[in-house]
């Protein structure tokens, strides 16, 4: 009751899940992002496509059994895509099952015209994305048309995606064909899919920026999460041999070989810029 009065209690949704408290939303979300509309040399070569893998799931179960109302973070998805679009790249939108993309709409920057524009432009494809299995069947032979695979963050990227064998197949396909893999915040959970069926971790020894477990452990205190995460993502990746370069949920980004990662929503703009600069330099 006291937490509710102070605005620290997570908000109960109609389906029984919880979204962040009033205080948490003020601390962790923005009506307008720090997107910078940079001007890029337009890429006009053959590798113009980027596969974007979204989650279609919403509720993440915490250790205490409560469900967090999540999905893909709109800023973490759309800011990098704004930069990539500005440089001439196109998107294939996919979810594991082909069901509609789920966003954390409580985190949508309602006063950001750039974000609203790309969201509205791509909304028909968010509602009817490709099924990842169909992409594997129909597009794997067209690797020469793709520059990268992008897995946006948001806690929802830990729903099903790390355990999805098709995600693992796509990441290995990208690796084998020298495509870039771009991800941020909790999106690096997707990299765990490369270890399924006892396979070695594809990114052992790679430097990467990931959302810190230490911050996830603190956020229930302000009602962002309704409980502790089911497991610590950054520690899991570290145990597999990843070299984490950040300790804070900041704007850190890093490129190691063909893996480009960012630490948090605050890194979304930097990640988009780094991804474009890296792709344009490599593909020119």
Q: Name 132's Cβ contacts closer than 8 Å, sequence gap at least 6.
A: 53, 94, 95, 96, 97, 98, 164, 166, 167, 170
Angle subtended by helix axes 132-139 and 165-176, to nearest 10: 30
Catalytic option among 122, 147, 171, 185: 185
Beta strands in the chain (DSSP E): 11-12, 18-19, 49-53, 59-61, 67-69, 90-95, 130-131, 146-151, 180-184, 207-208, 243-244, 253-256, 259-262
Find out whether 63 and 228 touch, Cβ atoms under 8 Å: yes
| Residues with Cβ within 8 Å of residue 250, at least 6 apart in sequence | 263, 264, 266, 267
Q: CB of 189 within 8 A of CB of 158? A: yes
- Is 185 considered catalytic here? yes
Alpha-carbon distance values, 78 to 75, 121, 176, 264 (Å): 5, 11, 27, 14
* Torsion angle in degrees (nearest 10) through CA of 176, 91, 160, 207: 50
Cα dihedral value 6, 12, 17, 22, nearest 10 = -40
Residues serving a catalytic function are 185
């Amino acid at each position: 009751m006291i937490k509710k009065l102070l605005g620290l209690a997570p908000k109960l949704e109609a389906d029984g899940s919880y979204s962040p408290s009033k205080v948490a939303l003020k601390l962790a979300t923005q009506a307008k992002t720090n997107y910078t509309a940079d001007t890029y040399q337009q890429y006009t070569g053959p590798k113009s496509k980027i596969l974007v893998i979204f989650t279609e799931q919403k509720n993440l179960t915490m250790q205490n059994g409560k469900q967090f109302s999540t999905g893909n973070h709109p800023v973490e998805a759309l800011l990098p895509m704004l930069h990539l679009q500005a440089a001439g790249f196109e998107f294939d939108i996919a979810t594991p099952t082909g069901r509609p993309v789920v966003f954390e709409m409580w985190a949508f920057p309602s006063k950001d015209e750039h974000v609203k524009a790309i969201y509205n432009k791509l909304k028909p494809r968010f509602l009817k994305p490709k099924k990842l299995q169909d992409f594997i069947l129909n597009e794997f032979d067209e690797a020469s048309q793709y520059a990268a695979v992008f897995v946006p963050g948001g806690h929802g990227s830990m729903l099903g995606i790390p355990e999805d064998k098709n995600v693992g197949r796509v990441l290995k396909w990208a690796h084998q064909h020298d495509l870039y893999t771009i991800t941020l915040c909790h999106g690096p959970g997707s990299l765990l899919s490369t270890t399924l069926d006892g396979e070695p971790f594809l990114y052992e020894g790679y430097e990467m920026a990931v959302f810190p477990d230490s911050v996830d452990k603190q956020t229930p205190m302000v009602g962002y999460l309704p409980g502790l995460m089911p497991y610590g993502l950054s520690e899991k990746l570290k145990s597999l041999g990843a070299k984490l370069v950040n300790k804070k949920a900041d704007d850190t980004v890093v490129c190691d070989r063909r893996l480009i990662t960012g630490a948090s929503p605050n890194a979304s703009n930097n990640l988009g810029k780094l991804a474009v600069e890296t792709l344009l330099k490599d593909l020119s």
